[in-house]
Chains A and B, each alone.
Chain A
């Protein structure tokens, strides 16, 4: 059974930093591309960032470019999101999600999410 377990969320002041982690099991993590997707309270899903299996390709949504950094450690089956210069509008549940390619990329597994609250 595939499990993606996020951690590291919490309350942080505007301008602060936070590092999210995602521990993966039940899949060959080193072969999987991964994403971070977030959901603000009462809103829909918003893609945040993507990293390829070997970390050779990385992409960010315009809303977080220059502030967030995605990374992974395949030896530890772990995905990370370093979030700097946090803003009120970054408040959301952050999901770790694996991506699969078959005629196009799509998300095939989701974690349970971790809540990030940016507030003074």
Chain B
């Protein structure tokens, strides 16, 4: 079963950039993932699907400031020109094709300084 590992927190200054990492467990480096944003007190929101090639597809209305990339088992979410609105929890998610279950990472809390 794939396991998704995320750092618990990250911080960066208003207007700067932050790069979040989601690492797939051994044997699952080819899996696609999705990134989701959850602002305080709100439901999650789909940001993008990200493939091992680095190709990504964003959801409707997701700003250009959000981009994705990949390297081996690592999947990245980069937020440029950080805004106060970007302060949120960010979760990665994948599908276990063997057990046919969904798996979520533990989430990264982003603080905008």
A35, CB-defined interface residue at 8 Å: yes
**Contact digits for B88-113, partner A, Cβ 8 Å, 1 yes 0 no:** 01010111010111111111000000
User: What's the Cα separation between A20 and B89 when bound, in Å?
Assistant: 26
Tell me, rounded to whole Å, the shortest Cβ–Cβ distance linking B33 to chain A. 7
> Which secondary structure dominates chain B's binding surface?
strand
Question: Of residues 95 to 117 in A, which have CB atoms within 8 Å of B's CB atoms?
Answer: 95, 97, 102-113
User: What's the Cα separation between A47 and B93 when bound, in Å?
Assistant: 10
Give the interface size bracket for A toward B. Answer: 20 to 34
Give the interface size bracket for B toward A. Answer: 20 to 34
CB atoms of A111 and B43 under 8 A apart: yes
CB atoms of A45 and B107 under 8 A apart: yes
CB atoms of B36 and A103 under 8 A apart: no
A50, CB-defined interface residue at 8 Å: yes
A89, CB-defined interface residue at 8 Å: no
User: What's the Cα separation between A47 and B46 when bound, in Å?
Assistant: 15
Binding site for A on B (CB under 8 A): 31-34, 36, 43-46, 49, 51, 57, 59, 89, 91, 93-95, 97, 99-107
Binding site for B on A (CB under 8 A): 35, 37, 44-47, 50, 57, 59, 61, 95, 97, 102-113
